[in-house]
């Protein structure tokens, strides 16, 4: 297993739309393991393959307190949603930046697991938000892009300033 480099906003590769996974191979399973290790090390609760520069429809999530309930979603598709919630979100690709995003309160998602088995998952709260957030990554969208242009510009300036101070 390996810790992968997480792309940082505004890297253009974060805007790449991920392709469906045609076959679950040893390479895909290895990528899933590396993504999980990367997510836990960051530390985070969700990671899309797009964020580590693999443009395939793969997500790993673990919202548990104990970090031992890894959820793998391959080719996820939201098949139902309801309600509206405003949740304070953050992102491993936009470190140190948090803000509210309006999303569905609950979602039902259909996906494949790492063994290629299809399943349906009903979720609400943090898990539903996380699924929607990570699925946005697969579509080439970063959560800050829900905000006004002014707020996006301020966020970008703040990130650039932070990057300069690290160098």
E-strand ranges in the chain read 46-48, 58-61, 71-82, 85-91, 94-103, 106-112, 118-124
Q: Give yes or no: 105 in active site.
A: no
CATH superfamily to which 12-166 belongs: Peptide deformylase (3.90.45.10)
What was the pLDDT predicted at 164? Answer: 81
Catalytic residue chosen out of the listed positions 65, 77, 122, 134: 134
pTM exceeds cut of 0.75: yes
pLDDT beyond 90 at 160: no
Q: What is the pLDDT of residues 74-91, one digit of tens each?
A: 999 999 999 999 999 999
What was the pLDDT predicted at 143? Answer: 98
Cross-strand partners of 99: 89
Q: Name which of 120, 46, 112 is nearest 75 in CA terms.
A: 112
Q: What is the pLDDT of residues 21-34, one digit of tens each?
A: 999 999 999 999 99
- 64 DSSP 8-state letter: -
Where are the domains positioned within the chain? 12-166
């Amino acid at each position: 297993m390996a810790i992968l480099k997480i792309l940082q906003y505004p890297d253009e590769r974060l805007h790449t739309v991920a392709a469906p996974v045609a076959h679950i191979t040893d390479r895909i399973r290895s990528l899933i393991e590396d993504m999980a290790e990367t997510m836990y090390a960051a530390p985070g609760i969700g990671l899309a393959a797009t964020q580590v520069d693999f443009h395939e429809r793969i997500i790993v999530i673990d919202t548990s307190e104990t970090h031992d309930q890894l959820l793998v979603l391959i080719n996820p598709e939201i098949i139902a949603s309801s309600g509206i919630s405003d949740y304070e979100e953050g992102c491993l690709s936009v470190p140190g930046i948090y803000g509210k995003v309006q999303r569905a309160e609950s979602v039902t998602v259909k996906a494949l697991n790492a063994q290629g088995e299809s399943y349906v998952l009903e979720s609400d709260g943090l898990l539903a938000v996380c699924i929607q957030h990570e699925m946005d990554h697969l579509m080439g969208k970063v959560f800050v892009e829900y905000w006004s242009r002014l707020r996006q510009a301020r966020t970008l300036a703040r990130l650039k300033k932070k990057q300069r101070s690290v160098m």
